[in-house]
Amino acid sequence: MKIWVDADACPAVIRDVLFRAANRLGITTTLVANHHIRVPRSPHLRSTQVASGFDKADDHIAAQVSAGDLVITGDIPLAARVVESGGTALNPRGTLYDAESIREHLGRRDFMEELRSAGVQTGGPSSLSKGDVQTFANALDRFLARAR
């Protein structure tokens, strides 16, 4: 099992949680972004820079992910691609996307996109709170415990 991180929009505090988990458990964790992201020196942590452009990081992750891998992303279409490949996705707020839940999340995303294209102001997500970080850390720990 590997952990892949859609790092373009992943908050630093979430990356720190991932770094600690990767080092504690010896799990290869790769951050993928269209700009350089520094990672602490560790045999378990890697950073991959992809070309700039729409969905380049997503495409790279989707091409690399294997069954059983975990992808950290807030991008629902990428999460769907990961699930289709046999992986699992977890968003930075601790929501797990798997074969059972991804259709519901895709439907909700598509509905909100339709509202926005019709001119409805839907607002964006709230700021990441300490509670969100704890929820993420707990969901990550549960997933890793089951996967091992």
For 2-55, write each residue's pLDDT tens digit.
Answer: 999 999 989 999 999 999 999 999 999 999 999 999 999 999 999 999 999 989
Domain range 3-147, CATH architecture: 3-Layer(aba) Sandwich (3.40)
**Bridge partners, residue 45, by sequence:** 29
pLDDT at 121: 75
Higher pLDDT, 41 or 105: 41
Least-confidence region, from 42-51, 92-101, 126-135, 139-148: 92-101
For 88-100, write each residue's pLDDT tens digit.
Answer: 999 999 999 987 7
**Bridge partners, residue 70, by sequence:** 3, 88
Sequence-separated (6 or more) residues with CB below 8 Å from residue 57? 6, 7, 8, 32, 33, 34, 50
Q: What is the CA radius of gyration of the chain?
A: 15
Paired tokens of 25: 């458990």
Cα–Cα distances (Å) from 134 to 17, 36, 82, 95, 111, in that order, read 9, 27, 24, 12, 29
Task: Centre a 10 Å sphere on the Cβ of residue 86 and count the other Cβ atoms it contains.
Answer: 12
